[in-house]
Amino acid sequence: MSTNTNNNAAPSGAADFRDVATAHTPFRTGRLVLWIVVALVVVDFAWIIASNENFGWPVVGQYLFDPTVIKGLYVSLGLTVVAMILGVILGLIVAIARMSDDRLASSVAALFIWFFRGTPLLVQLIFWYNMSTLFPAISISIPFGPTLISWDTNSVITPMTAAIVGLALNEAAYMAEIIRGGLLSVDRGQAETAEAFGMTRLRALRRIIIPQAMRSIVPPTGNQLISMIKATSLVSVIAMADLLYSVQSIYNRTFEIIPMLMVAVLWYLFITSILNVGQGYLERYYSRGERRSGNAKPAAEPAATIGEASH
């Protein structure tokens, strides 16, 4: 008799669990009113913007795909990709040096981060652009000896070079701290276990530590990428023909300042929206292990991973 009672109780408990798991918070009247008010405010604001003739929407539509604007957009995207790649690579090197037991490497890395994070990016760009004022020639020479080879600084430090160097070095300083934080988030036992399996520190870093640290590195890196596409607008001050410089060259001729700025705003919003979607996909990809359901013991995963990597 008791056995039947227990058997009947189990399905009921499972059903109750499913009901709780799939339950939704009741949509109360107050929340409905709040949603309606917010929607009305958003629609009203959008209508005010759309119906305001001072924005010059016909001019915006006319120049949105103008060849000069598109060319500037390509320059901004190219600067973003190149500076971000260089920044990540250099940032990884600086982060590893910062965590090194070598006092010299750690001190140099800390000095690099201190300087490039502590000075405004705009100042750095102007500094690189005017490098010829300090050093008319860039040369390779023996210390306190003869000069082996020399170049004119103006021929080396062009607006493109100054923009890439300034953006990449500034980004490297931020990425170094992001990567260092991600590496520190991985338990030190992982590295010790990898060494016990006979793996070198470099291989353990590449096969064990960095893959696990990616879950902490990817989200802030996505934010840095979005910030980078906006930071490229600063290169307009050194006569680099990016997106902002392109729209400025047009409104200096047509005096349509607000419409041309809206062209730049729409393109920046479009690019950053795409990057937001990509960042969300990467975050889901690197956090897929946390969403897996099952009875596997978390403590067993690192050992299995290291065992596979050692082969």
Read off the pLDDT of residues 46-97 as tens digits, 9 standing for 90 and up: 998 888 888 889 999 999 999 999 999 999 999 999 999 999 999 999 998 9
The residues, any chain, with a CB within 8 Å of residue 162's CB and separated by 6 or more, are 125, 128, 129, 131, 238, 240
Q: Which residue has the tokens 């390509």?
A: 74
Q: What residue type is 204 in one-letter code? A: A
User: What does pTM read for this prediction?
Assistant: 0.75
The residue-averaged pLDDT of 260-282 equals 90
The answer as to whether 124 is a domain residue is yes
The more confident residue out of 147 and 226 is 226
- In angstroms, how far apart are the furthest CA atoms of the chain? 103
Q: Is 195 within the bounds of a domain?
A: yes
> Which is more confidently placed, 272 or 19?
272
Give the residue-averaged pLDDT of 270-295. Answer: 74
- More reliable by pLDDT, 110 or 140: 110
Residue 218 pLDDT > 50: yes
Smallest CA-to-CA distance from 183 within 175, 171, 172 is with: 175
Query: Does some domain include residue 177?
Result: yes
The yes-or-no verdict on residue 149 having pLDDT over 70 is yes
Asked if residue 50 belongs to a domain, the reply is no
CATH number, residue 281: 1.10.3720.10
Residue 157 maps to a domain? yes
pLDDT tier at 296, thresholds 50, 70, 90 = very low
pLDDT digits (tens, 9 = 90+) for 219-249: 888 889 999 999 999 999 988 899 999 999 9
- pLDDT surpassing 90 at residue 214: no
Q: Is residue 292 part of a domain?
A: no
Domain count, the chain: 1
Query: What is the Cα–Cα distance from 238 to 126, expressed in whole angstroms?
Result: 7
What average pLDDT does range 119-130 have in this prediction? 93
pLDDT at 16: 52
Percent of the chain past pLDDT 70, that is, above it, reads 83
Distance between CA atoms of residues 14 and 18, nearest Å: 6
The Cα–Cα gap between 252 and 260 comes to 10
Domain that holds residue 224: 57-287
* Structure confidence by residue, pLDDT tens digits, 176-201: 999 998 888 887 777 777 777 777 77
Q: Considering only CA atoms, which of 138, 223, 143, 242 is closest in space to residue 178?
A: 223
**d(C-alpha 129, C-alpha 148), whole Å:** 25
- Give domain status of residue 146, yes or no: yes
- The reported pLDDT for the residue numbered 213 is 82
- Domain assignment present for residue 192? The answer is yes
* Coil, helix or strand at residue 145: coil
Share of the chain above pLDDT 90, in %: 46
Whether the Cβ atoms of residue 98 and residue 109 lie closer than 8 Å to each other: yes
Distance (Å, rounded) from C-alpha 308 to C-alpha 194? Answer: 11
